């Protein structure tokens, strides 16, 4: 017999109570200052928590405010990003810090609409900062939250590849009216998806709403939508770009062309990826043809 989803208030109580007991201790939760939350959200995009933690701590020690980061060269932000991957996030965070200084007196905006005006801040990031840093009511839909809602309420293994209107409407219908409860719900559902209702090995025995989960009641039917492809790495342009970035990031100054060439053997792929890094503003060329981080 299909499970019946209880009233939203019952879901809220169960999941938030579970979160209060089982949530991980993370630095941006223990001290959820707006800038700290913003930095964490940029870093956590497509990057596991365990890799973010040391870089986050070093970043906040060096640039404890948006003004501190905005005053530094963008290349230093890329260097400090280290091996987190997707280094364009570092440039976007630097640009956002600059906009905060220029347009918001150095303070991270507190409303969803204002946050959306910042470079690199989209729907999810704006909602997350408004919720986690300011305790505002917002629909926070990351991959983990979407997976929880897909399984518990919609009865499917995975959500669609992109956020659909029906999915957003469902999330809005489940959002508590009270700001503080809504913020707790956002954090709790995200944590539930991250550590219990995981993509590959869900721990249903540890889930506070397993008995009302429609996907579980249906016998865990497999995903029947478009194939879910894992991200390839070996030999890809992403790997090549990362190798080129590592050579320049780890150097004390501009890097000679022959050292860049030694970082990747496939000449055509190397040149293509170097051109893309230059186009993205992640690397610059000096007048004598050496490669450096942006100034």
| Length of the chain as a residue count | 295
From the list 10, 41, 114, 167, the catalytic residue is: 41
Look up 177 and say whether it is catalytic.
no
Q: Which residues are catalytic?
A: 41
């Amino acid at each position: 017999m299909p499970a019946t989803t209880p009233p939203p208030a019952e879901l809220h109580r169960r999941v938030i109570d579970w979160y209060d007991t089982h949530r991980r201790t993370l630095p941006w939760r223990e001290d959820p200052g707006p800038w700290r939350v913003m930095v964490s959200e940029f870093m956590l995009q497509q990057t596991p928590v365990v890799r973010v933690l040391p870089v986050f701590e070093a970043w906040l020690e060096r640039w404890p405010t948006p003004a501190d980061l905005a005053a530094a060269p963008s290349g230093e932000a890329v260097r400090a990003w280290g091996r987190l991957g997707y280094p364009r996030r570092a440039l976007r965070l630097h640009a956002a810090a600059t906009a905060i200084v220029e347009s918001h007196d150095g303070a991270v905006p507190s409303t969803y609409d204002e946050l959306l005006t910042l470079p690199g801040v989209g729907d999810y990031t704006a909602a997350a900062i408004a919720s986690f840093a300011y305790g505002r009511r917002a629909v926070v839909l990351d991959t983990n939250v979407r997976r929880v809602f897909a399984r518990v309420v919609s009865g499917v293994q995975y959500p669609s590849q992109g956020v659909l209107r029906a999915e957003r409407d469902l999330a809005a219908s489940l959002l508590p009216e009270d700001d503080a409860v809504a913020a707790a719900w956002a954090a709790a559902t995200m944590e539930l998806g991250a550590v219990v209702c995981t993509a590959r090995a869900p721990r249903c025995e540890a889930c506070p709403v397993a008995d009302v989960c429609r996907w579980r009641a249906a016998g865990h039917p497999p995903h029947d939508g478009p194939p879910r492809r894992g991200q390839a790495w070996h030999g890809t342009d992403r790997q090549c770009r990362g190798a080129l970035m590592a050579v320049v990031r780890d150097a004390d100054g501009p890097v000679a062309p022959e050292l860049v060439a030694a970082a990747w053997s496939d000449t055509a792929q190397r040149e293509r990826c170097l051109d893309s890094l230059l186009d993205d503003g992640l690397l610059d060329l000096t007048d004598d043809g050496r490669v450096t981080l942006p100034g």
